[in-house]
Amino acid sequence: MRLMRRASTKPELLIRRELHRRGLRFRVNHPALPGRPDIAFTRARLAVFVDGCFWHRCPQHGVMPKNNREWWEAKLRRNVERDREKDAALSRLGWQVRHFWEHEDPAAVAEEIERTWRHLRTTPTVVSKTAT
């Protein structure tokens, strides 16, 4: 498993290339954010994750291995739990979180990301001031 790519997988690269072509700029695997989002738009506070079908239990393509099934079940269940934990942590920090599957069309994913990014950039954020 050490040889499995953690970042810059082919689906991620295709989506990043399409976003860059559209003129959007972003951070890759932002180390200061929970879960190190695959793509982070810091000003819009938008975190994007491109989830692998096997590792994140895609309902369409996720297949459970037959060998050592109990171990894999626990491993993959924990991956999904960890996803929810990092989503909650990012939400508490004021970030919007979007997940996409690796099998989704990169152009369609980029379109959805751009639409969300534009919405977040044009929506005024409410900043509460505390009385001093």
Instruction: Provide the β-strand partners of residue 28.
Output: 39
Distance CA 75, CA 61 (A): 17
Position of tokens 């990301």? 113
pLDDT of residue 123: 78
- CA-nearest of 1, 2, 5, 19 to 100 is 19
pLDDT of residue 62: 84
pLDDT at 1 over 70: no
pLDDT of residue 132: 43
Q: Cα torsion for 25, 29, 30, 36, to the nearest 10°?
A: 140
Distance CA 121, CA 56 (A): 29
Write the pLDDT tens digit of every residue in 13-24.
999 999 999 999
Which domains can be identified in the chain, with CATH numbers?
10-122 (3.40.960.10)
Write the pLDDT tens digit of every residue in 61-103.
888 999 999 999 999 999 999 999 999 999 999 999 999 999 9
Position of tokens 């919007």? 96
